[in-house]
Chain A
């Protein structure tokens, strides 16, 4: 039982990080229909911005983190402004955008590896790395911060989409771009906003992982892959679905270890994903996906 609780708690922590990544990726995919794998680059850049802020510029941790989130949001916006929008203006199909995105991810990861070396860089997190015991479960303060951040990210995003004017514009574009355009919404500006918001929500995931186990140039790829799996599992266009999909995936990975040898961790998650996409392609809450959307 103790093992079950420990694995479930670890699953919740990992799930929170997946969730932050999936919320941002899902928001962008649901609104723009760009299969934005370069979101992994945002994840990686956020981690290195925070590292550079703390270690190279000597900023206090909190300032470095906030700066890194803002910089990551700006990078997301710039990717749309300078890469996707020009391509779309020239009539590029979604596959072209996807290939561009993949190329960008690769270039950014390797540039980061050249500049910062491929080895993980550890940050100083002080007391955040101290262990906390809750009954039979051991976590660190940083893990609790991760869970709280994911919760805040989720609630904040829901409130933003529901109550703010810009949030409602994003929802309008997400449900029907044509209709949104007809009522006078500027699609390009909404896309830019979506990229900024989506990147800002996922940036903390990259930073929190870097604070926990070090910044790594290639981790973004894994996370964006898992985020896309979580979003498709949860249902495209559904924010609660993205959260649930991410938590489900992480729980599966961690609780799977209970009975199955741990080297099968990723086999479990991708195996279940395959079952999902064949048996229930609309995910938990979403609309059905068509091959044309990827």
Chain B
């Protein structure tokens, strides 16, 4: 027993004595991510991105001399799990900041963030309802920007003017579907029918058969994650031959590898698969990096900059409120995907690309430049 204790003490002392982190405790932040469930592929990217950022920050001496520690929590696309995770982060870990993901989980934890003055940064959820929320910043554009681009492109340039929709029955899926219906209608298209499906479902044949019977020149998939690969495969199985379309949400490995999704029309947010970041990610995690890896890398770096700024102002103390004020006053952050400017609605704008999924890659046809 005594040896164990002494070993423990020595190691604690040794950790404390690390010269790089001379001052005080590590800075703990949360990350509430889809580590399991239909969106687990996003989780790999998000966690990997945040992890790489934290390692780089710590290798460079931490934030104002303090080590950064990220505490990962799983929401499995479930808002109530996200709330539990958030409570733990706030009450036990006392974090001033948390990364969040997905629309419903982020919206569910935002009131807790306001109550406890914890800054949230969402790099993945895109529901329009995420805009203009106190203590919540999105380093990603809301979905209406992307949906607007694809709706117009499909109706005006691809001349696909009648659509049937399959919609994931959650905040993100429904919100995107509603926006699609509006923007597609404004561009001269018409949605003939829609069917809602469970995000964690695995059999969508009955719904697809019903949509097939309605005809239309396009199947719009307002869903995300692994779900989309199953929808695409089962649609082709049922002899649905019309083009399918979606937004950057669908670009996960399962979909890109699926037979059924070949030829799907989609938007994409700018991501360079040959960048130094992407190469480093692949070396470290043995899997290709994706857009969301960069997003969470950037979000973590943005926090580090804002926290350093806040600590400079307050003379060393770090609070959620300080981080929030720092984000508001700095506004423009340099990231590995270029300059990011937080808009008045707490969101970001980005270029949006449109193209076709071919052989596991998006062949970009057109880039719509960001207009803040």
Contact = CB atoms under 8 A, between A and B. Distances in A.
Interface of A: 2-3, 6-7, 10, 14, 117-120, 129, 131, 133, 138-140, 212-214, 216, 253-254, 257-258, 261-263, 265
Contacts of B239: 131, 133, 138
Contacts, number: 66
Interface in B263-313: none
Contacts of B226: 119-120
Interface in B9-38: 36-38
B209 A263 contact: no
A138 B238 contact: yes
A138 B207 CA distance: 14
A138 B205 CA distance: 10
B36 A262 contact: no
B212 A3 contact: yes
Interface of B: 36-38, 40, 76, 169, 195-198, 202-203, 205-207, 209-210, 212-213, 226, 230, 233, 236-239
Contacts of A257: 206-207, 209-210
Given A119-B36, A213-B230, A6 B209 contact: yes
A118 B36 contact: yes
Contacts of B169: 263
State the main secondary structure of chain A at its contact with B.
Answer: helix
Contacts of B213: 2-3, 6
Contact of A258 (B37, B205, B210): B210
Contacts of B37: 118-119
Nearest to A255: B206
A110 to B, nearest CB: 13
A263 B40 CA distance: 24
A138 B212 CA distance: 11
B191 to A, nearest CB: 15
State the 6 A-B residue pairs at the shortest beta-carbon distance, nearest first: A3-B213, A213-B202, A138-B239, A257-B206, A6-B209, A262-B207
Given A213-B202, A261-B196, A263-B169, A140 B237 contact: yes
A120 B202 contact: yes
Given A10-B209, A119-B40, A138 B202 contact: no
B237 A131 contact: yes
A131 B205 CA distance: 13
A116 B207 CA distance: 30
Contact of A262 (B196, B212, B230, B236): B196
